[in-house]
Amino acid sequence: MRSGRQAGFILVAVLGIMALLLSLAGGTALMVRSAINGVRGSTDDLKLEAMVRSGIDLAAHELFALKLSTARIRDQRIVLDGGTITLYAVDESGRIDLNWSDPVLLAGAYRTAGLTGLKPEAFAARVVQWRDRYEDKQPENIDPAKINLAAKPVGRGKDGFRTVSELRWVADVSDDDVAALAPLLTVDNAQGRVNVLEASETVLMALPEMTSSLVAQVVALRSAPRTTMADQLKVIMPKQQPLITTARGTAFRVRVTVATASGANRSVAVILARAPARDAPYYVTAWER
């Protein structure tokens, strides 16, 4: 009887050990599978990151070294063995700058965005007050001949708006207002004037005394020879001349979209700014997924 009972205990023990080994084997298999999936995911992340960086470098080279027009880099597709890179670039000079544009343009942006919480002129005044709050003041009794009227205020460039989203700190401007204004505004158009060759139709409508018909004429003019374009703009836009330009900007908004052969994908938007040659080929001043 005792030997039979001992045999039963041994059988139960063996079965328990076998169950434990099976559970360990299953856990090990699960860990191995998770590790493989993790490695696979990490590999995709590395590929995507490398492709994004390559796309940014390529766009910067085309914009700053080759000086290609943004029209050449809109939906530009590069096919690689491991996937594809798609670039879309626009010149920030086609937007109204919060720090450097005339208050007339700021008011026009508010009006064109369809906002009604403030009068457009009141919105522009509050933006100017914010951006110039630390502006360097001229000393009293200074000789007028020594005033450099062409110099930009130091305070505005250093302590003005650093991003469009900072508009939310302006009184009576809501997050919804900022979202509505964002497609028209920038902080990377230091010349202040709107480049009519790059501006969207919405931005063009923010110029004073613009009509849909006049906007259509400006858009059609973009295919005209550059040698005659300035003269034609003077004819069709005489009142807007102090607020517009056809000069290329120094900062560009680039959307880089990448996809690997395995189906992983990523998209980022960056602002690329020209950098002094001694410092770096270019600066990335903003990065958004």
Q: Is residue 202 part of a domain?
A: no
CB 198 within 8 A of CB 90: yes
Residue 222 lies in a domain: no
Tell me the per-residue pLDDT of 12-26, one tens digit each, with 9 for 90 and over.
444 445 544 445 445
Residue 103 lies in a domain: yes
**Would you say residue 150 lies in a domain?**
yes
**Do residue 88 and residue 17 come from a single domain?**
yes
What is the average per-residue pLDDT within 81-105? 96
Please indicate, yes or no, whether residues 48 and 117 belong to a single structural domain of this protein.
no
What CATH number corresponds to the domain at position 270?
Answer: 3.30.1300
In a domain, 129, yes or no: yes
- Kindly tell me the burial class for residue 55, based on how many C-beta atoms sit within 10 Å of its own C-beta (0-12, 13-18, 19 or more): buried
Question: Is residue 8 located within the same domain as residue 82?
Answer: yes
Phi, psi of 271 (to 5 degrees): -105, 120
Whether 129 and 178 share a structural domain: yes
Task: Indicate whether 8 and 89 sit together in one domain.
Answer: yes
Residue 235 lies in a domain: no
Whether residue 103 is found in the same domain as residue 173: yes
Same domain, 52 and 74: yes
Alpha helices in the chain, H assignment, sequence order:
2-60, 103-112, 120-131, 154-159, 175-181, 201-205, 212-221, 226-236
Phi, psi for residue 166 in degrees, rounded to 5: -70, -10
Domain boundary residue among 158, 183, 208? 183
Q: Output Rg (C-alpha) for the chain, integer angstroms.
A: 30
Answer whether residue 234 is part of any domain. no
Question: Do both 89 and 111 map to the same domain?
Answer: no
Residues 18 and 88 in one domain: yes
CA-CA distance, 289 to 285, in Å (whole number)? Answer: 14
Return the pLDDT at 148.
42
* Domain range enclosing 20: 2-93+250-288
147 shares a domain with 105: yes
The reply to whether 42 and 57 lie within a common domain is yes
Torsion of CA 29, 30, 36, 42, to 10 degrees: -160
255-277: pLDDT as tens digits = 999 999 989 999 999 999 988 87
Is 61 within a domain?
Answer: yes
pLDDT of residue 42: 75
Of 257, 256, 242, the closest CA to residue 284 belongs to: 256
Distance CA 51, CA 86 (A): 10
The number of domains in the chain is 2
pLDDT tier, 4 (very low <50, low <70, confident <90, very high otherwise) = low
pTM, rounded to two decimals: 0.78
Query: Could you tell me the pLDDT band of residue 39, with boundaries at 50, 70 and 90?
Result: very low
Q: Percent helix, strand, coil in the chain (nearest 5)?
A: 50, 20, 30
Closest C-alpha among 146, 107, 249, 116 to residue 188: 249
pLDDT at 2: 47
For the chain, give the mean pLDDT: 83
pLDDT reading at 156 higher than 60: no
pLDDT over 90 (residue 87):
yes
Residues 84 and 139 in one domain: no
Contact between residue 249 and residue 285 where contact means Cβ atoms under 8 Å apart: no
Q: Of 146, 167, 183, which residue constitutes the final position of a domain?
A: 183
